[in-house]
């Protein structure tokens, strides 16, 4: 999406662009939230791979997503000089950063699919409510993150803020699902 | 090389995201009939609370087989199954759901195991 910008001055004003980003993210989150509430949850067991049941599959796929998100955060911190290990930035670090983010997203999709399709938005207790809300928020803030990376001339604080929020949301989602699951039903529950 | 591979994977992820949206948007006629429906339906409760041990279709795993009428054989009276789900069994190997699910939800999931699971 590297649209060559012949005339940088032709870009809309910054507040307009920020508002655009915000609206794009909000649209995704709200769409998922409405869908998960309106769609009749099928209760279907979609897939198990080699796990005991769909839920175990989800617990572990979410965990892999968090692992890649961690790689993503650490590589970002190195790229922006917040940490200094390794001392020299390898040439391929930027690509590792992109790859880890892409994989984290990829591993999250089948999990989210089962949540949205088979379970739906639920508010039976605080954990479930928080999980439902933050789950919808996640893909919205992720959208903002991807669009921000692809845009130029945005303020310096935007990317760390949005990236950090994306990571934080994923950790909340994972804590209210995978970690909760292990505390209830035992680790590792493949 | 590596960069090219990452580019390809990114495009694949984009395709996956589109597939995700399309899959969600398709009609939900594949729903499992009665018992599917509102959130908190028996099927949904089973899938998120019981399937991990009793298997997706109640075929058993960590816990014994429930589907295919097995649970009705073991507990001809539904109230006895409700009690097991509420209080647990085997010193906690089958967890007590009394504090986690309310009476209505336990009723719904028990009905689901008796009438639909693995049939």
* pLDDT single digits (tens) A122-158: 887 788 899 999 999 999 999 999 999 999 889 999 9
pLDDT above 70 for B39:
no
Question: Are the beta carbons of A41 and B36 separated by less than 8 Å?
Answer: yes
Token match 């933050």: residue? A134
Question: Are the beta carbons of B24 and A189 separated by less than 8 Å?
Answer: no
Which residues of A sit within 8 Å Cβ distance of B? 35, 39-45, 48, 52-56, 92, 95, 98-99, 102-103, 105-106, 109, 112-113, 116-122, 124, 181, 184-185, 189
Beta strands of chain B (E only): which ranges?
none
CA–CA distance, A77 with A84 (Å, rounded to integer): 9
Task: Kindly provide the ipTM of the predicted complex, given to two decimals.
Answer: 0.85
- Which of B9, B47, B50, B118 is most worth mutating to test chain A (most A CB atoms within 10 A of its CB)? B47
B67's tokens? 């589907």
Which whole number is the average pLDDT over A25-50? 86
pLDDT above 60 for B36:
no
Q: Phi first, then psi: give them for residue B103, nearest 5 degrees.
A: -55, -40
Question: Are the beta carbons of A184 and B95 separated by less than 8 Å?
Answer: yes
Read off the pLDDT band of B75 (50, 70, 90).
very high
> What dihedral do alpha carbons A35, A38, A40, A41 form, nearest 10°?
50
What pLDDT is stored for residue B34 in this prediction? 36
Which whole number is the average pLDDT over A107-131? 89
Read off the pLDDT band of B72 (50, 70, 90).
very high
- Which of A28, A35, A37, A42 is most worth mutating to test chain B (most B CB atoms within 10 A of its CB)? A42
pLDDT above 90 for A184:
no
Read off the pLDDT band of A8 (50, 70, 90).
low
What pLDDT is stored for residue A89 in this prediction? 92
What pLDDT is stored for residue B31 in this prediction? 42
What pLDDT is stored for residue A108 in this prediction? 97
Question: Which of the listed ranges A30-39, A136-145, B85-94 does the model predict with the highest average pLDDT?
Answer: A136-145
Name the residue with higher pLDDT: B94 or A97. A97
Question: Poorest-confidence range of A70-74, B23-27, B111-115?
Answer: B23-27
Which whole number is the average pLDDT over B49-76? 87
Residues of B with Cβ-Cβ distance to A97 under 8 angstroms: none
Read off the pLDDT band of B35 (50, 70, 90).
very low
Q: What is the DSSP string of A102-164?
A: HHHHHHHHHHHHHIIIII----SSHHHHHHHHHHHHHHHHHHHHHHHHH-SS--TTHHHHHHH
Name the residue with higher pLDDT: A45 or B117. B117
pLDDT above 90 for A99:
yes
Which whole number is the average pLDDT over B22-34? 62
Residues of A with Cβ-Cβ distance to B58 under 8 angstroms: none
What pLDDT is stored for residue B112 in this prediction? 93
Using a cut of 0.90, tell me whether the model's pTM lies above it.
no
- For chain A, give the mean pLDDT: 90
């Amino acid at each position: 999406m590297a649209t060559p910008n012949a005339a940088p001055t032709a870009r809309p004003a910054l507040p307009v662009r920020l508002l655009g980003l915000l609206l794009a993210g909000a649209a995704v989150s709200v769409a998922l939230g409405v869908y998960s509430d309106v769609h009749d949850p099928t209760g279907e067991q979609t897939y198990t791979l080699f796990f005991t049941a769909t839920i175990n599959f989800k617990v572990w796929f979410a965990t892999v997503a968090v692992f890649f998100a961690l790689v993503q955060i650490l590589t970002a911190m190195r790229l922006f000089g917040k940490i200094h290990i390794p001392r020299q930035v390898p040439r391929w670090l930027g690509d590792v950063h992109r790859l880890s983010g892409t994989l984290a997203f990829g591993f999250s999709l089948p999990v989210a699919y089962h949540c949205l399709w088979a379970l739906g938005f639920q508010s039976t207790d605080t954990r479930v409510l928080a999980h439902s809300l933050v789950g919808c928020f996640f893909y919205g803030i992720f959208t903002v993150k991807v669009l921000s990376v692809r845009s130029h001339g945005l303020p310096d604080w935007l990317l760390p803020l949005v990236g950090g929020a994306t990571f934080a949301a994923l950790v909340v989602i994972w804590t209210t699902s995978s970690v909760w699951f292990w505390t209830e039903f035992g680790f590792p529950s493949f | 090389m590596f960069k090219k591979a990452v580019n390809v994977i990114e495009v694949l992820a984009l395709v996956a995201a589109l597939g995700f949206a399309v899959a969600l948007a398709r009609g939900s006629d594949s729903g499992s009939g009665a018992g599917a429906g509102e959130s908190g339906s028996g099927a949904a409760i089973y899938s998120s609370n019981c399937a991990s041990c009793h298997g997706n279709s109640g075929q058993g795993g960590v816990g014994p087989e429930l589907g295919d009428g097995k649970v009705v054989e073991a507990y001809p009276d539904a109230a006895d199954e409700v009690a097991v789900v509420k209080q647990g069994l085997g010193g906690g190997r089958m967890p007590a759901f009394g504090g986690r699910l309310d009476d209505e939800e336990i009723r719904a999931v028990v009905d689901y195991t008796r009438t639909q699971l693995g049939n």
